[in-house]
Chains A and B, each alone.
Chain A
Amino acid sequence: MFKLWLIPLLPFLGFLINGILGKKLPKLAINAVAVGSVLASFLWVALVVGPSSDWGAHKLQAHYFTWIASGNFHVGWDFAVDKLTIIMLMIVTGIGSLIHIYATGYMDHEGGYYRFFAYLNLFMFFMLNLVLAANYLILFVGWEGVGLCSYLLIGFYFNKKSATTAGNKAFIVNRIGDFGFALAMFIIVINFGTLDFTKVFAKAPGAPVETLTAIALLMLVGAAGKSAQIPLYVWLPDAMEGPTPVSALIHAATMVTAGVYMCTRSAVIFLHAPIAMETVAIIGLATAVFAATIGITQYDIKKVFAYSTVSQLGYMFLGVGVGAFSAGVWHLMTHAFFKALLFLGAGSVIHACHGEQDMRHMGGLKKYAPWTCIVLACASLAIAGFPGTSGFFSKDAILTAAYEHAPWMFWVGVVTAGMTAFYVWRAFWMTFWGEYRGHGKPHESPMVMLAPLMVLAVLSLGGGFLFNVPEILKDMFPLKEEIPEEHMLMAISVAAGLLGIGISWYMYVVNQELPGKIANAFGPLYRLINDKYRVDEAYDAAIVEPLIEGSTAILWKTVDAGVIDGTVNGVGSQAQGIGNVLKLIQSGNIRSYATWIVAGSVVIIILMGIAGGVR
């Protein structure tokens, strides 16, 4: 009826066509296939699947084929749709379409054009699979698939060493998370005997708390890997080595939110595991603060937004952790709008400055790229939580929920919101105000890049009004009743945002010596933060180096060179020794071969006779 398989299959067809034939196709055809396939599945979602029925009451399940059947354990290739899925589908296909259109302009002069769009379509296929999945294993297929595409696209400029290293890093760090997720699935299978969402969630409330806590914590490990939470966030900033549309689509709007989606999907399990919930909230909050402080000191425009993504993902986890699942999803959606816009805008800025990413070599771009300036202002307002913008609503919903849960979380969240506003607007002022400090003459981006930006700008500003996610999801996640302090909390968070904007304006427009002075005043602390708390170095020293050293000393020198090579070489030389004796038999003389055959026959006849086989 709804042909759910059509939704992921269209991008997959696009992947096949572009991936196999792309080298020979003209650019126009590649564009048509890549954009058309994603746009078609967006239209299918928006016009047919989305509005046609009331998804709250029942869930549409579609079974396509049985993938694994082992005793009583069945895993089918099943898709299911409910309101949460519809929201995710709309985000993924909608933003995906816009970014595909944008990429046709951005990647125009790049090599490997068809390869880029093939990967991007493959990503859409896996992401839609992830969202549509009706059991954990299909979700995991999508989960791994998007990880693969992320790896491929981060390392898209594969002749650049830093890009391939970043791709490897993302892949390896994600493996740690996936390991946790896989363990969670094993525990689910052992305890519930199934991976189907509906069956698992029906049985979950009756299971012991310890089991559910273990499952939820392992899922959190998986989610922390995919959604870049402490301690596994380190791959996401490096992932900015990929092309900017990839950063926008995969590493801001869709893939990194998969962890939030998964936790929301598993809400039943989390709700029955209070310790795990608390852990999620604390990890989310810690990540939000931590990443925000790093974001303040960065100069690479994409790095700023990358840390901002980590920080905002922390917000979503805070929302999930305090039980405000729908607020988390709301923030997921609004974040997809304004962060995709920020990244695409950053791409437009980089495009304008001929590939320059360092903000110290930008400035004054409002004169040269006015449209980019306007849309980025919209996105920056939204992320700062300016009243009326989309970010305001979702952030407020999360902070209010956090206040109900524990007031200190609210205050930390508010400080983070202030920092967020500060560093995003710092980037804005440094890029668009003042004098141009770079080389060449900046220029505005073409219309094909600006049009998606404008659509996203409208969504960033009005997304909160247009899609009231908690209202839509109220059947799945009941609305919280209003609390008396709500307006006061709202005012506080808005004030924090405005304060952040104001301070950044003062520091980077009015009194431009001030940042340097502050940096000098807090010298060691500043350098520590500017070096991203040296977490990468700490991981290197604590995990990577010992692993390499240990592998070299034990696995390579001892086990591989000593035991394995020794065994193999020993077997080889033994075989050679035996062969040296046996090759005397192989004289090449037919008559001696015949003699051996006859001797063998005699032996067989005698054996058969003894065994009585002659009778």
Chain B
Amino acid sequence: MDPLFFLLFAFIAVACGVNVVLQKHPISSALSLVAVMASLAVLYLLQGAEFIAMAQMIVYAGAIMVLFIFVIMLLNAGTEETKGRSWMALIFGVPAIIGLLGSLAYFMQTGMPKLGEVKFGDWKGGGAYEVGYALFTQYLLPFEVTSVLILIAIVGAIVLARKELD
């Protein structure tokens, strides 16, 4: 069933990704993005990344996107103004995007070495045990540093977002 699931969720991911860009209202974009992340979580699971799939659901689709929606609600952001001021981005941006896609496609087509295949359940290295073991042995220092990073982010967010007390 692997190809079936892959095609299904890849289609959902791409469709919702395009929707993120196309929707005029930020809240629609945000909900589409949640769908993208959920389908990506399924794709992670297909590759045996159980822990990351769960984290994707909880942290990304859960916490971070809730934060986004929170801010959208807080700012009462309406639909985007369409009157363009930056013709530069359009004139140069569209060719640049097409160039990016084209060059990636061309070189992936021609230069990609022979890679293996993914079958659900053929590798069990991505469970909570394996990830946790690596995280607390070999990658302990980066892990601890991230805690400092998050602390800094918390402080920074509070400093930035608080109202001036005067």
Chain A interfacial positions (CB closer than 8 Å to B): 587, 589, 591-592, 594-595, 598-599, 601-602, 605-606, 608-609, 612, 614-615
Contacts and interface: CB of A to CB of B under 8 A. Distances in A.
A493 B13 CA distance: 115
A448 to B, nearest CB: 65
B140 to A, nearest CB: 33
Contacts of B112: 614-615
Interface in B68-113: 86, 88-89, 92-93, 96-97, 99-100, 103-104, 106-108, 110-113
A602 B97 CA distance: 9
Nearest to B96: A598
Contact of B113 (A599, A609, A615): A615
A591 B80 CA distance: 15
A285 B110 CA distance: 93
B152 to A, nearest CB: 24
A609 B111 contact: yes
B92 A592 contact: yes
Contact of A612 (B92, B97, B104, B111): B111
B contacts with A: majority SS:
helix
Given A591-B86, A592-B88, A605-B103, A598 B111 contact: no
Contacts of A615: 111-113
A555 to B, nearest CB: 50
Contacts of B99: 598-599, 602
A595 B107 contact: no
A599 B94 CA distance: 10
A contacts with B: majority SS:
helix
Contacts of B113: 615
B93 A598 contact: yes
Contacts of A612: 111
A598 B89 contact: no
A609 B107 contact: yes
A615 B100 CA distance: 18
A597 to B, nearest CB: 9
A601 B100 contact: yes
Contact of B88 (A587, A602, A608): A587
B92 A599 contact: yes
Contacts of A594: 89, 93
Contacts of B97: 598
Nearest to A602: B99
22 contacts: A589-B86, A591-B86, A591-B88, A591-B93, A592-B86, A592-B89, A592-B92, A594-B93, A595-B88, A595-B93, A598-B93, A599-B96, A601-B100, A605-B100, A605-B107, A608-B107, A609-B107, A612-B111, A614-B107, A614-B112, A615-B111, A615-B112
A587 to B, nearest CB: 7
B155 to A, nearest CB: 25
Nearest to B89: A591
A591 B97 CA distance: 13
B89 A589 contact: yes
